[in-house]
Amino acid sequence: MKPATKSKTRKEIITLWKYAIGSTISYLINLAIVIVMTDLFEVHYLLSSIAGYASIVITSYIFSVTWIFTERKIASRGKEFVAFTLITIFAMLMNLVSMWFFTGYLHWHYVVSNVVTNFLATFWGYVPKKLFLFSGKNRKPSEIEIEEVMPSFDDVDELPTTFIYEDEVDEQ
């Protein structure tokens, strides 16, 4: 194995471990929310699961951008968060269907269902996040110049507009 490949593999393993740790912490917060809402406030387990998943979106995103992934594909944090949320929402939908199946159909306790479905969703979530959001193929956001993200108006002769100015009316 070449030294560069060995280094890249080691970096990927470290990233996977960080992802597992961050996902575990996010999941424990989720589980606490689900248990409190379901047992203490008697909210339906599927509704509790949705609320718990909201915590996963926030905590998982914070871990991803501050600790787990070092490089990003999307320079805009807002666009990145929207894409991250969409990936997580898809995982949540998988989670809800699985929770319904395990708890509603197989009659497992909702906590057992939650553990199993979130474990599966964690593995599913890594691949699209890594491929579409946090790929090592592009530079770190700090290395991207603003000119590369925002167009320069120096190169534009005329900006498109839907307004008609008074002097244009006289010319017609």
pLDDT value, residue 94: 87
Residue 77 lies in a domain: yes
Q: How far apart are the first and last CA of the chain?
A: 72
In the block, tokens 């406030």 appear at 41
Residue 119 lies in a domain: yes
Residue 38 lies in a domain: yes
- Counted domains in the chain: 1
Are 125 and 88 within 8 A, CB to CB? yes
From the first residue on, what is the mean pLDDT of each consecutive set of 10 residues in the chain (172 residues)?
A: 69 90 94 96 95 91 90 86 89 89 95 90 83 68 42 44 48 52
Range of the domain at 32: 3-143
Residue 41 lies in a domain: yes
Residue 114 lies in a domain: yes
Residue 157 lies in a domain: no
Q: At what angle do helices 110-128 and 45-63 cross, to 10 degrees?
A: 40
